[in-house]
Amino acid sequence: MADTLAIILLGLMGGGVFLAFVRLLRGTRGTDRAVALDTATLITTNILVLIAFLKGRSMLVDVALVYSVLSFLGVLSIARYLDGGLK
């Protein structure tokens, strides 16, 4: 039962990443693309945590934490660039 649920969850998350990347490629404005990138990184962080839980590897949680912090900093820098940079 747990394996079936994990496969379903990973499939749904994979579909979410795919849709976010479609929006990233077909976005009309920079803000749309930034939100799509943030969404994709958020979902992949959740995938890492789910795999860490299923496999019992705590190191993947640390990787997910570092990945999410770097993602946050990247989105902040994109937002600053789209806002016009330092004034």
Give per-residue pLDDT as tens, 16-44: 999 999 999 998 888 888 899 999 999 99
Sign of CA dihedral 59, 61, 65, 67: positive
Token code pair at residue 21: 């990347």
Amino acid at 32: D
Q: Which domain holds residue 23?
A: 2-83
What value does the mean pLDDT of the chain take?
A: 89
Give the global pTM.
Answer: 0.85
Question: Which tokens belong to 29?
Answer: 């404005």
Instruction: Please tell me the distance from the alpha carbon of residue 27 to that of residue 72, in angstroms, as a whole number.
Output: 20
State the residue for tokens 């795999």.
51
Q: Residue 20: name the closest of 45, 2, 39 by CA.
A: 39
| Crossing angle of the two packed helices 2-26 and 30-55, in degrees rounded to 10 | 160
Number of domains in the chain: 1
Q: Comparing 84 with 8, which gets the higher pLDDT?
A: 8
